[in-house]
Amino acid sequence: MAQRLHLVFGGELVDPQKTAFKDVKDIHIVGMFPDYASAHAAWKAEAQRTVDNAHMRYFIAHIHRLRDAELAGSATEEMGD
């Protein structure tokens, strides 16, 4: 069975109605999690910790969706071999 990795990250946004970060160097990487439930718990904890700052947002990225081992690699990926 394939791992279902999830990345939790966040930071201050330029505009709370958009998803552009104010400074990419200041993105807070919470961590990588082996399942959605643990990623959601981490996301919720960070979101609640920063609730007073309307510009702070945290996200869950479904890393397992970025690459399917059954599909052929991209041209850029093949250059690294």
Average pLDDT score, the chain: 86
Determine the pLDDT at residue 79: 45
**Are 14 and 22 within 8 A, CB to CB?**
yes
Determine the pLDDT at residue 49: 96
Please give the helix or strand (H or E) that residue 40 lies within, else none: helix 36-49
User: Looking at the domain 6-67, which fold is it?
Assistant: Alpha-Beta Plaits (3.30.70)
Order of all β-strands in the sheet with 6-12: 28-33, 6-12, 56-62
Pairing of strands 6-12, 56-62: antiparallel
Determine the pLDDT at residue 4: 86
How much is the CA Rg of the chain, to the nearest whole Å? 15
Among 35, 67, 16, 25, which residue's Cα sits nearest to residue 8? 35
Ranges 1-10, 22-31, 38-47, 70-79: which has the least confidence: 70-79
